[in-house]
Every structure is written in structure tokens, then in C-alpha cells.
Structure 1
Amino acid sequence: MHTTLRLEQEAEKLQAQGVAYAVATIVRTVNATSAKPGDKALIGANGEIIEGWIGGGCARGAVGRAARTAVEIGKPQFVSLKPEEVLADEGHAAGEEVDGIRFARNGCPSKGSMDIFIEPVLPMPRLVVYGDSPVARALLDQAGRFDFRRSVFAPEAADMPRVEDLLTDAAIDASPTTTVVVATQGRGDKDALRAAVMSDAGYIAFVGSRKKFATLRDALIAEGIAPARIDRVKAPAGLDIHAITSEEIALSIMAEIVAFRRRPQPPSGREAS
């Protein structure tokens, strides 16, 4: 099977699974190198090659580290791999970054040089909504326009809007990038809030008054749930824009979710040496 076709098929598989990865492309080579311009590889978030070819062990370490960084911070990386003496002649050192180019050392006897562009491919951000209240429906509608993967738990709803995932279990497997909104508004509030706080979601919000949330908080603590888990919840949900209607409340929540999604990320601190 042609290499390009294999890469495309593997990329489609990873995207369908919601897995983050990076695409590394050789853009320039000098002297003897096993990889040539145009060669590509898919690299996992752990830095391991999934499919493709970007050269032997001399390149894989530096490219793997750059791929991990690209996935972590969501930004492309550019690696220039050169023999140590060439770096020194040019006034650079392994691990140094100048004008967006990260320099790395090629210790192979071939003494070749390569420039590699690494682009992250991140899964759609995930939004989990509990409930089929008017706010829940408005939020799901708005989130679809922001390219969120929408998961809904509303077992009693008969006509939920078209979303990517209809959940049959309140318990969710959530990552720190997942956003969760409990918008049950009187129908299964405690059960939904319990499931939300027991997840590892990075953002959890509750649609309701502070008084109502305080009552639910006390009830969950009485069940043995650690207060620290519950205190992660933003209640009431959303930014304070003096929202009144369901659509306005959903907009305030969506704005808060976007702020969470776009928050500055700390530098990786990894060196591509």
C-alpha cells in the first residue's frame, strides 16, 4: 500500500478516536540523510512514531520531543537538525530556539542536516452537558457552531438536538481539557453533579443559584465526596453578563468555556537536543 494512503488512513483512524497527534514533514535536507524532503510521519502525543518515515534514530529523538511539545501547547514546531560542528560554526547550540527554529544535534556519522516541520492535530474539544433544559439545549446549539464534540446525558429526553454522543451512563471518562455543564435544572441535579465532580474534567459548571448549589454541595459531602472535588465547580455557571433568557445564559457559559479553552499554556520546558 502506498505510504501516503497508509498515512491518510491512520490519520482518519486517530481523528475518529479523538486522539491527539502530530504530523512531521521533512522540508529540507543537506548532505547524506536517509529521509528526503516530503517524507512524513504521524507521531503520537508520547513522541513515538505511529506511521511514516522521517529518518533513523538520529532524527527520531529530537522530532519526538518536538512533537510532544507541539501537542502539549497546540502550536507547530520547527526543528533544524545539524551536526554539532555545523551548529557551532553557525553560532547555535542544541536546544537553542531562534526566531521559531529549534536547533538539535545530529550525532550520526553521516553528518547530514534536516529541517522538519511538526504540526499538531488536536481532537475537537469536548463538551458534556447533563440535562435537557432550555439552557442545555441552547448551549448545545451554540457549541456546535464552535466545533465542540457534544456529549449529552439526558435519559428522559425524547427529542434531543442532533449531537455527536448521546450518553447512556452519567459517569464519564473526561480529560483535563473536557468541559462539563450540569444544566438539569431540577431533574436529577444531585446525580448529575455527583458524576461531574467525580470526573477529571478541567471545567465544571452548574446552572442554578448559589443557594441551590450550596445545598447540593452539603449533600455530596455527606455522601463522602471530598470537598476539593466539589469546589472545582463554577456556580452559577457562566460569565456575569446579566443574562436573563436561556439563550443569554447559554452564551455566558459558552464565553466562559472559550476562555477556559484558550487560556495561556505554560511553556513545555523540553529541550530538542
Structure 2
Amino acid sequence: MRTDLLAELNAERAARRAAILVTDIADGAQRLVREAEIAADPLGTVLAKHLASGKSGLVEADGRTLFLTVQVPPVRLVVVGAVHISQAMAPMAVGLDLALTVIDPRTAFATPERFPGIELVAEWPDAALGQSVPPLDRYSALAALTHDPKIDDPALKAALTAGCFYVGALGSRKTHAARVARLTEAGFSPEQIGRIRAPIGLPLGAVSPAEIALAVLAEIVAALRRAPRPEVA
């Protein structure tokens, strides 16, 4: 690989931005396509498909064989609320290679005994995000699970501002309507607020904490892979 391409690839990695290195197998020619450039690229459709899957591989285009080296930042999952759903979610998230952080200022809930081996931050979200916890970004998902606006709302505001690929919040439709009113008053647009998945999770008919955790993680994976969300019956 040319040193200039390597430097550019490393710069994208350091900035937590995705990129794809396109290598022509026949002559070794290479070029780097950044995520923001994919839509306008001649191979845009193919590149977008590989970016969504996060997998490298061979493709055929215009009679040539190309190898696509896909570089995607590690996906982070920030859960606000050290609740039973979060406890059930933790081992599943690890199995999905999601870098999980649980934030909850309530020290009675946010204990290492309840979340062994999980990054746990016993602080208010607005204090933790960007300080104890790295700033949210395009490759971050946030799930707000406390039912407490004082805890959930600051995290939701940070996630919407950062453009997280997934933002979800627990609560009934009535709870969410009140949440929408608060976020509107705070200056967020209907388009921004509309990005919040509420009720959170795929419509699996989930009842137990483990089932709700599964529904939430399934929805996060669907958002990451850009799969359409099924309509709620």
C-alpha cells in the first residue's frame, strides 16, 4: 500500500470514520473511498452494501476484479440506566462485539456486582458523555432505559446532536409524547426527534427484561446494517 493511502486510512481510523480501500487485483492499483464519498462513487451501490455488512471481499465491476478492504470503527453501545434490562443486555452485547458502557448516577444500581466486566459509569449522562465516556458519534448507539427524564433527556439530546446511528428510549406512547414536547421545547426539530425509536426495540411482543433486551439489540443491529424496520402491528 502506498504510504499516502496508509496515512489517509489511519487518519480516518483515528477520527472514527469508515472508509473502503479499493484494490484492482490485476494491476494492484488502489484508491481510498471515504464514507462521505460513497454515494457519488461509480461503485457506490456495491461499496454501500459492503459498508453496511462491515465485511471485506472480492467484487466484479466493469470486467475487473476488485478487492474491497472495509474499515469500520468499532461500534459503541451506551446504555443509560443500570436496570434489569441492561443486566440482561450486557452478555448479549458482548456476544455481538458491541463496546458496551452503562451510565447511571444512581449508585445503588450502578454497581460492579450487578454488571461484572462491563464499563460502568456512576455519573449523570451530561457530565459523563465527553468526559468519563468518549463523545458519541456516527458509530454509536444509545438506549435510554431509566424512565426518568432527568437522566434520560440529557443523554438523548447528546445522541441526537452527535448523529448516533441508533437512538432508542423506553416508555409508553404517552411517556414518549411528553418526551417529544420537552425535546421540542429544547429546540430539537421534528426530524431529529423522529429518529428516536420509541417504543424501543423491534415489535417482538417482549415482556421480560431479557426479551426486551433482545428486541432492543435486534433493532440496533437492524439500524447498523440498514435493514428496514418492520411495522408495528
Q: TM-score range by the shorter chain?
A: 0.5 to 0.7
Structure with greater proportional helix content: 2
Partner of 2:167: helix, strand, or coil? strand
Aligned match of 2:182 in 219, 224, 228? 219
Inter-partner Cα distance in structure 1 for 2:208 and 2:200: 14
Does the aligned pair in 2 maintain the 1:153–1:170 contact within 8 Å? no
How far residue 126 of structure 1 moved from its aligned partner, in angstroms, is 2.8
* 1:9–1:146 distance in 2 versus 1, CA, 3 Å: farther
CA contact (8 A) 2:144 2:156 kept: yes
- Encode CA deviations 1:125-178: one digit per residue, 9 max, x unaligned: 332221211212322321111112324333442324434685853464321x53
CA 1:240/1:264 → structure 2, altered by over 3 Å: closer, same or farther?
Answer: closer
Is 1:125–1:148's contact at 8 Å kept on the other side of the alignment? yes
Residues 232-247 of structure 1 correspond to what in structure 2 (within 5 A)? 232-247=195-210
Gaps of 5+ in 2: 229-233
- In structure 1, distance between residues paired with 2:29 and 2:111: 47
1:123 Cα offset (Å): 2.5
Write the mapping of 1:32-111 to structure 2, written as runs, cut at 5 A: 43=32, 45=34, 72-74=48-50, 100-103=59-62
Q: Say whether residues 1:169 and 2:128 are aligned partners.
A: yes
**Number of residue equivalences:** 208
Percent identical across equivalent pairs? Answer: 27
Structure 1 residue 122 corresponds to structure 2 residue 120: no
Rate the CA distance shift 1:215–1:263 in 2: closer, same or farther, 3 A: same
Q: 1:67 to 1:23 in 2, by over 3 A?
A: farther
What amino acid is aligned across from residue 144 of structure 2 in structure 1?
Answer: V
CA distance in 2, matches of 1:257, 1:174: 15
Hey, what does 1:197 align to over in structure 2? 160
1:3-50 CA distance string (max 9 Å, x none): 79xx99998897676443334445334xxxxxxxxx6868352699xx
SS across alignment from 1:225: coil
* 1:71/1:121 contact within 8 Å kept: no
2:218 alignment partner, SS class: helix
- Secondary structure at the aligned position of 2:128 is classed as coil
2: distance between equivalents of 1:150 and 1:70? Answer: 30
Is residue 145 of structure 1 aligned with residue 65 of structure 2? no
User: In angstroms, what is the RMSD of aligned CA positions?
Assistant: 4.0
**Equivalents in 1 of 2:57, 2:166: separation in Å?**
28
TM-score (structure 2 length as normaliser):
0.66
Q: Which has the higher contact order (CA 8 A, sep 6+)?
A: 1
Q: Is the 8 A contact 1:138 1:247 kept in 2?
A: yes
CA contact (8 A) 1:24 1:116 kept: yes
For residues 168-209 of structure 1, the C-alpha deviation after alignment (integer angstroms, 9 at most, x for no partner) is: 53464321x532211123362333333333331232111122
1:133 matched to 2:83? The reply is yes
Aligned residue number for residue 158 of structure 1: 111
TM-aligned CA distance change 1:138 to 1:10, over 3 Å: farther
Indicate the larger mover: 177-186 or 16-25: 16-25
Shift in alpha-carbon separation, 1:188–1:11, aligned structure 2, 3 A = same
Distance 1:215 1:253 in 2: 21
Partner secondary structure for residue 254 of structure 1: helix
Question: Which has the larger Rg?
Answer: 1
> What is the CA distance between 1:253 and its match in structure 2?
0.9
AA aligned opposite 1:149: A
SS of the aligned residue for 1:198 comes to: helix
| Aligned partner letter, 1:123 | P
Conserved in 2, the CA contact under 8 Å of 1:208 and 1:236? Answer: yes
8 A Cα contact 1:46 1:68, kept in partner: no
